[in-house]
Amino acid sequence: ELAGRYPSDEYTLTEACTQLEAQIDADAPMPTADRLVLERQGRTIVLNAPFGHTANETLGRILSALLGQRAGSSVGLETDPYRIELEVPNSIATSDVLAVLEETDPDHVEAIVELGLKRSDALAFRLAQVSAKFGALKRWQNQGSGRISNDRLLAALEDTPMYEEAIREVFHEDLDIERASSVLERVQSGDLELVTHRGRTPVGLGGRSSGGKELLAPENADASVINTVKERIQDDRVILLCTHCTEWKVKTKVKRVPDQPECPECGSTRIASLNPWADEVVQAVRSQDKDDEQREMTERAFRAAGLVQSHGKQAVIAMAARGVGPHNAAQIINKLREDEAEFYRDILSKEREYARTQAFWD
């Protein structure tokens, strides 16, 4: 019945319904168009909000800007069409998040977001694109040497037509000020219910954004930052799929993956480690009549499986990072290093590179 009402296949809709059933079984509040669910575990806060990627990106930037200002330190942000995930300092209470949603003037949304954009990776990426079109980036690079940092680029081109055009593009293509303002108005009027939940929920854990978390860690990450990266990745979920028999598939946390994953059905160690939302890749691998896109997905899954077969859990950890596919994971794994901290530092470096460029997997 659902497959007839929505543009999707039965398998995908069944997976979605399974997640909703798990939410009900967990006795957790269900997020809807009329109810926001704010959940928290440790430093991770998730606002389940089904308002689309651009509206959620806008709301997320408001939350990260105002909470960061309150804490005096940076706040990690990740969004998708259904949820906003924040990684906050320990000093931020759940009540602080509620206060931002319940007290921020909807008329001030644009100004708050623009202020927060001024030193952001998103604006630097757009500015690099715009300035390249004008030829300014090439001329400036020729005057110096090496890579131009985001901070230098933003500072050098501030108060120029290119800067204004980059701001305009971010607002037009990446954000939805009007809808985000409407969400705040509805929360504050009581038209949109806002409930809290202690701990993570199945729906809140159900996805990650394609854009990747905007990471604001320093270039030379210290031990506390590296430990945070390690803990986050260990708690992330992955899909393990046997590419030999293609029958066995499981979704699990990285920390629960054995040192050498093995299919319990056929005994193969060619296990692909996939992102937790990559059900279409599973379908592609299992498909007998693949189109071009499915063939590409299958090839990538087989490359991932080859890495896991050769390097075990280490490959699973590397590919669980934001924006790290089989190619980048192989670069990380093959690099000689003295300790585990260097391994995670290299992962963080790849994540930062991905967050700066908003590039797709290798």
Structure letter (DSSP) for residue 171: I
Question: 35-54 pLDDT, tens per residue?
Answer: 999 999 988 999 999 999 99
CB 324 within 8 A of CB 347: yes
Question: 259-271 pLDDT, tens per residue?
Answer: 999 999 999 999 9
pTM of model > 0.75 = no
Half-sphere exposure of 233 (CA within 13 A, CB side): 24
As a whole number of angstroms, the distance between CA 215 and CA 114 comes to 18
Q: What is the pLDDT of residue 148?
A: 58
Question: Which region holds residue 154: left if phi is over 0, alpha if psi is between -120 and 50, else beta?
Answer: alpha
Q: What is the pLDDT of residue 56?
A: 95
* Ranges of residues in the chain whose predicted pLDDT is under 70: 1, 3, 119, 134-151, 207-225, 336-338, 352-362
User: 140: Cβ–Cβ under 8 A, 6 or more apart, which residues?
Assistant: 131, 148, 156
